[in-house]
C-alpha cells in the first residue's frame, strides 16, 4: 500500500466504467467496496451534522441549551448533546405516533438521565450502554438520517450505480445554478473489506485503537429507501473529551490516520473524478440498466421523480 487515499481522474465515463468492471484495473478491489457519489469535487466528505450550514441551523435552535454557555459552547459536549437531542426527539415523536422502531430505553430517558449518560460517553455512545441500546441508537440514527435528520453517519451504497445516480443527477441540478462553479463530479470507493480487517486488528493493537471506522447496516425492512439504495453507513470512532473544542474532520482525512499496510496492494479509499460534462452519458447508461429514480426512491414519489428525469434530464 503506497497511500491511504488514491485520487484518479478519468477523461470520460467510459474510461471509468472500464476501470471498475470485474475485469478492469479496479474491478477486483471494487468487489469488496462501498460507494458514494458527490455532485462536485469541492465538497468536503463530511456527515450532515458536521457541515457548517447544518451546525449553524441546529446549534442555534431550542434543542441546544448550551448555545449561550461560554464554557461549553463549541465543545464536544455541546456537539454530542445536540446530536442525541435530535435522535431523542425523533425516537419519542415517532414512537408516540405508533411508527415502527427498535426499542431503545437510552433515547427514551429524561434530560437529567441523558446528561448523566453523556458524561460517560466513550466513542460517541455511553460507556455503560449495553449492546442492544448501542445497536438501537445506530439503527434509529440511520432511519432518522434517511428521512432528513442530520447525524454523524455518512451514506454509502454497495452499488456503484447508486453512487453514479446521485452524483450525476445532483450535478445536473448544480449546473442549473449559475452561481455554482463545478467542473467534476466524484465517485468515492471505500474498501470495506480492508477496513474490516483493520478493525479486527485494532481490537488487539493499542496503537490502532483510535482508528476504528464503523459500518452501520440496519435491517432494510424498516427503511425502504435504504433497501432500494443498497445502503450502508459509516461513522468514525474517536475518543470523546467533553471540554475539548469540537473539530469536524472530513472522512478522507480520518482515513489518512490509518496505517499503511505493506502487504496490501490497495488503498483504503479511492476518489474517482469525472468531467461534469459526462452527466448525461451516466444517466443514459443507468436508464438502460433500469436504474432511475423509481429504483432509488420507494413508492410513487420515485415514479414521479423518474418522470421528471425523462422530461428534464435525459437529453
The stretches in the chain having pLDDT less than 70 are: 111-112, 114-132, 175-182, 202-211, 314-315
Where residue 148 falls (left for φ over 0; alpha for ψ -120 to 50; beta otherwise) is left
pLDDT of residue 86: 93
Give, in order, the Cα–Cα distances in Å from 311 to each of 122, 167, 305.
50, 19, 10
Nearest alpha carbon to residue 37 among 307, 311, 296: 296
Instruction: Please compute, for residue 11, the number of CA atoms within 13 A of its CA located in the half-sphere on the CB side.
Output: 1
Angle, alpha carbons 279-280-284 (nearest 5°):
120
Q: With a threshold of 0.75, does the pTM exceed it?
A: yes
Burial of 173 (0-12, 13-18, 19+ CB in 10 A): middle
DSSP string, 180-230: ----EEEEEEE-HHHHHHHHHHHTT-GGGTT--EEEE---GGG-HHHHHTT
pLDDT of residue 190: 97
59 φ, ψ (degrees, to nearest 5): -80, -10
Q: Per-domain residue ranges for the chain?
A: 1-46+153-315, 48-152
Total residues found in the chain within this entry: 315
Q: Which residues pair with 264 in a beta bridge?
A: none
Exposure string of 213-249, with b = 16+ CB inside 10 Å and e = fewer, is bebbbbeeebbebbebbbbbbbbbbbebeeeeebeee
Please, which residues have CB within 8 angstroms of residue 297's CB and are 6 or more apart in sequence? 225, 228, 305
CB 104 within 8 A of CB 136: yes
pLDDT of residue 51: 94
Amino acid at each position: 500500500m503506497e497511500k491511504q487515499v488514491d485520487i484518479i481522474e478519468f477523461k470520460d465515463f467510459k474510461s471509468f466504467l472500464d476501470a471498475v468492471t470485474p475485469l478492469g484495473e479496479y474491478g477486483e478491489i471494487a468487489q469488496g467496496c462501498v460507494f458514494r457519489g458527490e455532485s462536485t469535487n469541492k465538497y468536503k466528505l463530511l456527515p450532515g451534522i458536521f457541515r457548517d450550514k447544518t451546525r449553524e441551523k441546529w446549534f442555534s435552535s431550542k434543542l441546544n441549551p448550551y448555545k449561550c454557555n461560554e464554557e461549553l459552547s463549541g465543545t464536544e459536549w455541546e456537539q454530542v448533546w445536540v446530536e442525541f437531542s435530535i435522535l431523542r426527539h425523533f425516537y419519542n415523536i415517532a414512537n408516540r405516533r405508533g411508527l415502527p422502531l427498535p426499542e431503545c430505553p437510552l433515547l427514551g430517558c429524561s434530560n437529567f438521565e441523558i446528561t448523566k449518560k453523556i458524561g460517560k460517553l466513550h466513542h460517541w455512545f455511553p460507556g455503560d450502554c449495553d449492546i442492544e441500546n448501542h445497536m438501537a441508537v445506530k439503527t434509529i440514527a440511520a432511519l432518522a438520517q434517511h428521512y432528513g435528520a442530520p447525524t454523524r453517519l455518512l451514506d454509502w451504497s454497495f452499488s456503484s450505480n447508486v453512487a453514479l445516480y446521485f452524483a450525476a443527477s445532483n450535478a445536473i441540478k448544480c449546473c442549473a445554478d449559475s452561481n455554482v462553479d463545478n467542473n467534476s463530479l466524484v465517485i468515492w470507493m471505500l474498501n470495506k473489506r480492508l477496513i474490516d480487517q483493520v478493525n479486527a486488528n485494532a481490537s488487539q493493537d493499542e496503537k490502532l485503537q483510535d482508528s476504528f471506522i464503523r459500518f452501520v447496516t440496519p435491517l432494510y425492512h424498516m427503511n425502504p429507501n435504504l433497501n432500494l439504495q443498497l445502503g450502508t453507513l459509516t461513522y468514525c470512532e474517536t475518543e470523546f473529551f467533553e471540554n475539548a473544542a469540537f473539530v469536524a474532520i472530513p472522512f478522507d482525512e480520518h482515513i489518512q490516520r490509518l496505517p499503511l499496510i505493506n502487504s496490501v496492494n490497495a488503498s483504503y479509499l479511492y476518489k474517482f473524478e469525472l468531467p461534469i460534462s459526462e452527466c448525461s452519458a451516466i444517466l443514459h447508461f443507468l436508464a438502460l440498466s433500469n436504474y432511475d429514480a423509481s429504483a432509488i426512491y420507494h413508492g410513487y414519489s420515485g415514479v414521479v421523480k423518474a418522470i421528471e428525469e425523462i422530461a428534464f434530464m435525459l437529453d
